[in-house]
Each structure stands twice: as C-alpha cells, then as structure tokens.
C-alpha cells in the first residue's frame, strides 16, 4: 500500500514561490507516474502537473504552465512542485497523486492520493 505525505503548503502572498513536497512509502514506485492535483472550494479536483517514472516526460495544466515545475527524486521517493508567480486563483488544497503507467490528467487514473496540503494565496 502506497502512502503519500505532502508538505510545504500554507499562506503565501501573490507572486510568491513556495515548493510542495510529497514523500512516498510502501512500494518501489517503479513504473508509476507521480503528480499533483488541486481542489478549490466549490470546484472539482483538477490536474496540475505530472511526471513519468523516468522523469523524462512532464505534463502541465495550461493554467500553471510556465509558472510551476514538477520534479522527482526516485531514490528518495519524493516528488516536488515548485510554484512561482502565485496568483489568488491558485488557492486550493493540493493533492499528491500516484498512478501506474502514463501520466493521468483525470482523477480516475490515480491509484493513490495524499491527504492534501492547503495553499492560500493572498492578494
């Protein structure tokens, strides 16, 4: 059973650059993609960014492309989300996501979820 623990959220001013981390345990994660989704109040959970097992392919939502960067350290079983130029509309609970195979941009493609970390962007 994969367990995911996120960290790095909090209250950030607009334009800030926090980094989220997600530490995985419970399996080797070989062949699994790792990524991030987010859910704002009153909205559905949406894809933010994902990376393949090798780290050779990354995919981003259009709303964050050019501002967010995803990376992973397989030796440490950690995936990061560097968020730059934050906007108030980035306010949401951010969830770490792990699934087998190619990067899933739909929640149905995720096998494991973290508990979520709140990111609040003040204007």
Task: Print the SS3 string covering 60-115.
Answer: ECCCCCCCEEEEEECCCCEEEEEECCCCHHHCEEEEEEEEECCCCCCHHHCCEECC
Residue 83: its pLDDT value, please?
98
Average pLDDT for the chain: 94
Mean pLDDT of 72-89: 95
**Residue 27 pLDDT exceeds 90:** no
Mean pLDDT of 59-76: 96
**Residue 55 pLDDT exceeds 90:** no
Residue 101: its pLDDT value, please?
87
């Amino acid at each position: 059973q994969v367990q995911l623990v996120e960290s790095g959220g909090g209250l950030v001013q607009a334009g800030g650059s926090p980094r989220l981390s997600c530490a995985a345990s419970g399996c080797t994660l070989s062949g699994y993609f790792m990524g991030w989704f987010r859910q704002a109040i009153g909205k559905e959970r949406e894809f933010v960014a994902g990376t393949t097992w090798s780290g050779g392919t990354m995919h981003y939502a259009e709303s964050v492309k050019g501002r967010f960067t995803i990376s992973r350290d397989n030796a440490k079983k950690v995936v990061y989300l560097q968020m730059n130029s934050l906007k108030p509309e980035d306010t949401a609970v951010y969830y770490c996501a792990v699934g087998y195979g190619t990067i899933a941009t739909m929640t149905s493609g995720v096998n494991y979820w973290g508990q979520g970390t709140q990111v609040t962007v003040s204007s």
